[in-house]
């Protein structure tokens, strides 16, 4: 005759670790899906920026035709960024180049008061600023999901499940803004 409490205890010994394994695996899958969804948000906002840039360049070109070299750099950087489909780190390098060339273009714009006053240019510039804010928000959301997934992959005991099922660490999407990292110059007279 088999004792029911002994069978129940034996069943729990096998059932609880199995339930933990399934729960941990499903949590990792959920985090990976959140990561993919948040990357799609970044991708969507980057495409929005890419669509705005040609209109902005054309508007500037009408006022500053002899600034051709600067405008060509913006277009080339935009095309490289559009075609960049590698890792988040490689895409971030292309985005950094694009942001740098856009800053150059806005320096050129400062020399043309008529252009700065153009309603079309002002509207495009406003859209670009709005898009940049949305990209920054999407990047923060994505990087938070990267942090959560990477933490889950590295901490014990979920790291055992992550390694067993080949979950990989994700890369952050970081766009360098050199102006933030430069220390301000202070001159004492």
Is 41:142 a contact under the CB 8 Å cutoff?
A: yes
What percentage of the chain carries pLDDT values higher than 90? 37
Angle between helix axes 88-109 and 4-63 (nearest 10 degrees) is 30
- Phi, psi for 87 (deg, rounded to 5): -70, 165
Confidence of residue 113 (pLDDT cuts 50, 70, 90): confident
**Residue 172 is assigned to a structural domain of this protein:** yes
Number of residues that this document lists for the chain? 189
Confidence of residue 105 (pLDDT cuts 50, 70, 90): confident
What secondary structure letter does DSSP report for 67?
G
**Residue 187 is assigned to a structural domain of this protein:** no
Indicate which CATH number applies to the domain containing 103: 1.20.1440.20
pTM for the whole thing?
0.76
**Residue 150 is assigned to a structural domain of this protein:** yes
Q: What is the pLDDT of residues 164-180, one digit of tens each?
A: 999 999 999 887 754 44
Q: Is the pLDDT of residue 146 over 90?
A: yes
**Residue 22 is assigned to a structural domain of this protein:** no
User: SS3 of 12, please?
Assistant: helix
Q: What is the pLDDT of residue 6?
A: 67
Per-residue CA distances from 64 to 14, 67, 74 (Å) = 74, 6, 14
Distance, in Å, from the CA atom of 4 to the CA atom of 6, rounded to the nearest integer, reads 5
Is 175:84 a contact under the CB 8 Å cutoff?
A: no
Distance, in Å, from the CA atom of 54 to the CA atom of 60, rounded to the nearest integer, reads 10
Is 161:23 a contact under the CB 8 Å cutoff?
A: no
Domain of residue 128, residue span: 35-177
**Rounded mean pLDDT of 22-33?**
94
Q: Is the pLDDT of residue 36 over 90?
A: yes
**Residue 21 is assigned to a structural domain of this protein:** no
Count of structural domains, the chain = 1
**Residue 7 is assigned to a structural domain of this protein:** no
Angle between helix axes 68-83 and 4-63 (nearest 10 degrees) is 160
Of the listed ranges 78-82, 119-123, 156-160, the least confidently predicted one is: 119-123
**Residue 27 is assigned to a structural domain of this protein:** no
């Amino acid at each position: 005759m088999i004792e029911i409490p002994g069978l129940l205890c034996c069943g729990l010994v096998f059932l609880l670790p199995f339930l933990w394994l399934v729960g941990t695996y499903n949590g990792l899958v959920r985090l990976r899906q959140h990561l993919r969804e948040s990357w799609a948000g970044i991708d969507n906002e980057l495409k929005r920026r890419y669509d705005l840039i040609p209109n902005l360049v054309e508007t500037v070109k009408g006022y500053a035709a002899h600034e051709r070299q600067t405008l060509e750099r913006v277009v080339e950087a935009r095309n490289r960024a559009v075609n960049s489909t590698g890792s988040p780190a490689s895409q971030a390098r292309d985005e950094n180049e694009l942001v740098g060339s856009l800053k150059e273009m806005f320096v050129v714009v400062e020399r043309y008061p008529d252009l700065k006053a153009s309603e079309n240019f002002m509207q495009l510039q406003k859209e670009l600023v709005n898009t940049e804010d949305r990209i920054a928000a999407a990047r923060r959301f994505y990087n938070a999901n990267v942090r959560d997934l990477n933490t889950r992959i590295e901490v014990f005991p979920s790291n055992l499940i992550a390694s067993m099922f080949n979950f990989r660490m994700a890369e952050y999407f970081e766009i360098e803004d050199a102006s933030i990292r430069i220390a301000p110059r202070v001159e004492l007279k």
